[in-house]
Every structure is written in structure tokens, then in C-alpha cells.
Amino acid sequence: MRASPPIERPGAEPRRRHDLAPRWAALAGVGLNLLLVYPGMMMWDSIDQLLQARAGKLNDWHPPVMGFIWRWLDEVAAGPFPMLALQLCLGWAGAWLVVRAAGTRPTAGRIAVLWSALLFPPVACVMGFIVKDALLAGVLLFAFGFVPVVRTWRDGGARGRFTAGVAVLGGCLVLAAALRYNAIGAVWITSAFAIHSLAARPPRLVRSLGLGLVAAVGCAGLATRMNALLTDVPEHPWKSVAAYDIAGVARGLGSVDFIAADDRVALAGDTPGGEWTLERLQKGRRDWNHMLAAGLNVQPSPTLKRVWRQAIRRHPGAYLAHRLESFAANLGFSGDAASQCVRLEPLTGFGDRDAAGVATLLRHDYKLTALQRGLRDTTVWLARRTCLFWPGLYLALGAGIALWSVRDVTRGAALPFFLAVSGLAQEATLVFLAPAVNYRYSHWLVISAWLSFLLVAVPAGGAAVARWRNARSTAGTTP
């Protein structure tokens, strides 16, 4: 007996053709993005990670899991390009899945949201650097976009695919938690979104957030253990936050007398002229490199940990003032949060001679193309003349979208809400955990707020234009 031909639903073929355009737009976007920043922008952190990956000895100053991944990618093609391709492909795939899940119509609207999300200069400038913040954003975007895919497998009764999809989601969340020690904020909300979307009956929002927090703590524990197993040389990255806080408290008090004389001697160690004076702490307060340049001996020790705790406990006012000032600077309200990530130089933070040596080491002739020079100049101009690179702008935008879209959570349209809140939660961790002022620390906030805004604004704008056209056509046909 011949099998009956499958029944085609009316309109199925046009709909498949309709969905091809955003896919091709995503592929074109990846290609254009790779062209704009090829072979990947490098700063000192990037160089250090690559050298560790090649030497086979990883420390925990940078995420060991990223160095482990880079070690294998460098075997495929030496240099930064494989890692650049990985983080951009994850980001564009995730953005495409998010836009598809949001149901943005028409096709032009989907393409507009997709391209505007990742080619937006405040987003593209960081995604062009080989740094953990860019890879973290790619992983989180993919996780957000993959949740609706897993939900369709559940609804379709594909139990095996559903189980595999949940495992992939769990792996993405553990990887995200391993890439930044303060990524637990974003992992928390992403986990809550997955739980809310994949449950047979969506729980209440508060319950989803509570279960997501439990899942995030579990992911953070697994990530910590994984990084510990991959670490060959412990560097104790908490020392940068400790020194930053001690310098901030000293600046607020205008003195280092809160540090006992014996402790100051112990902190100086064997470094000639490495005494912890107020002048040196003020010079080194900006970031870790400035601390080293100021001659401070910042090595992990029981003394450093004790002085850090005493500074917080005995002078909470100065500590909170320092932390709030640092957070305001990271939001762009003071200082230069944009930092070196905006310049899009091929080798950022090196002099000409050092850059030439590093280029030889990386086996690539780093020279900007005319297109890249134009992109660099445009980005620098925008950073200096506009507020587009103020993370505080995206904090307000994300909060507004979260308040606007919270009512849609119970209506099955929870994606914009959770996406916006994930950026807010991630940014909130910087209040007490930021080791310096840097624009890239707020990268996920910028992406999540901007994309959630596009997901809400573009369909609303398209509906408004359609109503306006209908009103005009109705007025034109009225006798």
C-alpha cells in the first residue's frame, strides 16, 4: 500500500519562504561584522590569554575556561580570528533566534531589529574585541534565543530533543557563569526565563525568579569548580577588588592611617619603594595597571584580605561613597567609562614598538583597512560627542522596558521583560564587584536593553504606521 502524501497546510510554503530572508540577513550580518573587525581587536588581556593558551599554563586572572577554548581554536587557526568568529556567530545566532521568537513582523521589521541590534556602534565596538565580556554576551544571547526552540520541541512531543536542549541550555549557563565572576546576575534571570518558558504550566513571576536564583547558584558553583580544575597558576583575582576598595576608602578619608603601620610594611613586601602611601593609592585607584605603575605591591596575602575587611567594616561610609562613585563612573556620569574599547585599534594599549613585537608574536600584520579606520573615527566621534556610550542611558532604557513589558509576562510574551531585566541584574553586581571603571563591564546591559527596546518599539512603530496608512486610505475613499 502506498503511503499517503503528507498534507500541506495552506500557506505553509509561503511562510517558509518568508522566514528565509531573516536567516540570510543574519548570515550577511555575521560576514559584515567579521569584515569590519577582522582579525579581531586585541588588548593586553587578550594577549595574555592567548599566550597562556599557547603555553598550556592557565591562571585565573582571566577565565581559565576561555583560555582552554582558545587553546584548541588556536590549533585550528593561529591568532584571534577563531575566537572572534565564535563570539560573533554565537551573538548573531542568538539575536536571530530572539527576533524569530519575538514574532516581529513584517520581514523588514525582523531584519531591521537584527541588524540594528549587533551593528549598533556601542555594541559592535566591544564585540570586535577578544575579551570575556564579548564572549559572555554571545553565550547569553544564544541562551535566550535557544529557550523558545527547546519549548517548541517540548510542545511537539520530541522528548529526546527537549532533553538534549535543556542540557545545552545548562551548559551555556555554566559557561556564562565561568566567564565572569559577576555574571551570576545575568545567569539568574536567564535561568528564570528558561524555567518560566519550559514549565508545563508557567509559574508565577516571583516563583520563576526564585527558582532561577537557585539554578544560578548551582551554575556558579559548577563554574567555579570547572575553572579551578583548569587553573594551573592561581592568581587570586579578588586582590584587584581588594586593592581598589582600599584605595577608594583611603581617598575618601584623605589618609592611610586606617592601615596599621605593621600592615603597611607587610603590604609593601620586598618591593623597593612599594609602601602604600596616599599619593600612590590615589594614582593607582583607576585600575590594576595604574596600581602597578604607581609601584604598589599588590600580592594576595592574609594581610591584604584583613586590611580590606577592616576598611569596609570600620569605615562603611567611605566605602559606600567610593562604591557609588565608581558605579556612577561606570554608568558614564563621571570619568571616561568608554575607555580603550571604543577606539577599535588592532592592538590597544601598546606603544608602536610593543605593538610591532606583539604583531610578530601573533603571526599577523596588524594594519587597519580604510573601512576600519573610518569605523574607528566614527566610533570615537560618537563616544566624545553623544551620550550613546553612557551605560546609564541603557540602565534607564532597560528599566523602562522592564516596567512596560512586565504586564506581558502572563500573556506568553515574557522575552522582552526577562531580556531587559537580565542586563539590569548584571549591572547591579558592579555596585560592589567592579574592580575599576570600564565601558566593557556594562556590555551585556547595553545589548540587552537595546535589543529589548527594539523588540518592543519596532512592532509598535510598524503598527502605528499601518494604522496611519489605513486611516489615509479610508479618508481617500470617503466621498
**Domain range enclosing 114:** 20-233+370-423+450-467
Mean pLDDT along residues 217-232:
94
The pLDDT confidence band at residue 42, using thresholds 50, 70 and 90, is: confident
DSSP state letters, 381-421: HHHHHSSTT-HHHHHHHHHHHHHHHGGGGGGT--HHHHHHH
- For residue 232, the SS3 value is coil
If asked whether residues 180 and 282 sit together in one domain, one would say no
> Do 250 and 215 fall within a single domain?
no
Same domain, yes or no, for 207 and 253? no
Distance CA 19, CA 353 (A): 50
For the cut 90, the answer to whether the pLDDT of residue 466 exceeds it is no
| pLDDT at residue 295, as a whole number | 64
As a whole number of angstroms, the distance between CA 363 and CA 211 comes to 48
Q: Taken in order 50, 65, 120, 431, is the CA torsion positive or negative? A: negative
Position 12 scores a pLDDT of 38
Domain match, 133 and 38 both? yes
Find all residues with CB under 8 Å of 171, minimum gap 6, and list them.
none
pLDDT at position 189 over 90: yes
3-state SS class at 347: strand
Please state the rounded mean pLDDT for residues 302-317. 91
* Lowest mean per-residue pLDDT among 140-154, 222-236, 346-360: 346-360
Asked, for residue 179, whether it belongs to a domain, the answer is yes
Instruction: Quick: pLDDT tens for 385-426.
Output: 888 888 999 999 999 999 998 888 876 688 999 999 999 999
Which of 149-153, 207-211, 275-279 is predicted least confidently? Answer: 275-279
State how far the alpha carbon of 353 is from the alpha carbons of 41, 292, 356, 357, in Å: 17, 21, 5, 6
- Beta-carbon contacts of 131 under 8 Å, excluding residues fewer than 6 positions away, are 43, 45, 46, 341, 440
Domain membership of residue 14 (yes or no) is no
Q: Which of these ranges, 134-138, 219-223, 226-230, 255-259, has the smallest mean pLDDT? A: 255-259
* 2 pLDDT above the threshold of 50: no
Cell 509559574 belongs to: 203
pLDDT at 287 exceeding the cut of 70: no
Residue range 348-352: average pLDDT?
Answer: 51
Q: What count of residues does the chain have?
A: 479
Partners of 129 in beta bridges: 41
Q: How far is residue 88 from each of residues 147, 275, 302, measured CA to CA in Å?
A: 19, 44, 41
Query: Is 341 domain-assigned?
Result: no
If asked whether residues 324 and 384 sit together in one domain, one would say no
Q: Are residues 164 and 250 in the same domain?
A: no
Closest CA to 194 of 182, 221, 176: 176
> What is the per-residue pLDDT across 351-372, written as a single tens digit (0 to 9) for each?
555 555 666 666 655 667 788 7
**pLDDT at residue 15, rounded to an integer:** 46
Q: What is the mean pLDDT of the chain?
A: 83
**Residue 359 falls within a domain, yes or no?**
no
Q: How confident is the model at residue 294 (pLDDT cuts 50, 70, 90)?
A: low
Q: Span 292-321, mean pLDDT?
A: 84
| C-alpha to C-alpha distance for 62 and 224, rounded to whole angstroms | 13
Lowest mean per-residue pLDDT among 51-65, 225-239, 334-348, 430-444: 334-348
Rounded mean pLDDT of 146-171?
93
pLDDT-derived band at 274 (thresholds 50, 70, 90) equals low
Total count of domains within the chain: 2
Q: What angle do CA 409, 425, 236 make, to 5 degrees?
A: 150
The rounded percent of the chain whose pLDDT value lies above 90 is 39
Q: Which residue has the cell 623597593?
A: 272
Q: What is the pLDDT of residue 255?
A: 85
Give the per-residue pLDDT at 476: 60
Question: What would the DSSP string read from start to end of 255-313?
Answer: -STTS-HHHHHHHHTT-TT----HHHHHHHTS-HHHHHHTT------HHHHHHHHHHHH
pLDDT beyond 80 at 293: no
Least confident of 13-27, 44-58, 263-277, 342-356: 342-356
Report yes or no on 2 lying in a domain: no
Residues 126 and 173 in one domain: yes
Q: Which residue has the higher pLDDT, 381 or 17?
A: 381
Cα separation of 178 and 132, whole Å?
10
Beta bridge partners of residue 59, listed in sequence order:
233
* Percentage with pLDDT > 70 across the chain: 81
Instruction: With respect to residue 274, please indicate whether it lies within any of the assigned structural domains.
Output: yes
Q: How far apart are CA 195 and CA 41, in angstroms?
A: 36
The per-residue pLDDT for range 65-123, each reduced to its tens digit, is 999 999 999 888 888 899 999 999 999 999 999 998 877 666 777 888 888 889 998 99
Which band of pLDDT confidence, cut at 50, 70 and 90, is reported for residue 153?
Answer: very high
| C-alpha gyration radius of the chain | 25
Domain co-membership, 163 together with 142 = yes
Q: How far is CA 323 from CA 396, 408, 428, in A?
A: 20, 35, 12
Domain presence at residue 195: yes
d(CA 137, CA 296): 33
